[in-house]
Amino acid sequence: MYQRILLAYDGSAPGQQALLDCHEIAQWSGSELSLIAVMPLPLNNLGLEGSIYDESLQDSEKERYQAILDTGLRKLGDAGLKASGYVVTGDAVSEITLCARQIKADLIVVGHKHLDGWAARWWRGSVSKALIEQSPCSVLVVITH
């Protein structure tokens, strides 16, 4: 069935649910698990003019994302599963699909929360939807309300 599962993990409620579902699939199929936390580029807002890259933010953000990832890895470890983890920086969809190709994943698991208003959905976009379009393998979208 699935030999390698990649979980896009951010510690959110949808991410927690995806972790639980990923855990069950991995136990059932005996899969290798990998978690990836994608950190956006640290930018400082300048207002309407745009943003600039802020290297001083990168270290603190990397520590925060590593802590989120470590929590997920610890939960899987407590359940008796071994998993590897990666913190990467960049566009979530690009980084997740790149990692999936590198580790030859059979399945990507991602959490998703329905956004309330059409404007929020339009402005934010959907990582899940883009992953389905660009993924080199199957994608399981775990929905929370």
Q: What does the angle CA 144 – CA 109 – CA 3 come to, to the nearest 5 degrees?
A: 145
Predicted local confidence at residue 14, as pLDDT: 76
- The enclosing domain of 9 has a CATH number of 3.40.50.620
pLDDT digits (tens, 9 = 90+) for 54-112: 566 678 888 888 998 999 899 888 988 889 999 999 899 999 999 999 999 999 998 87
Structural domain span for residue 111 = 4-144
Reported pTM: 0.81
Domains in the chain, number: 1
- DSSP β-ladder status, 138-144 and 51-53: unpaired
Predicted local confidence at residue 137, as pLDDT: 96
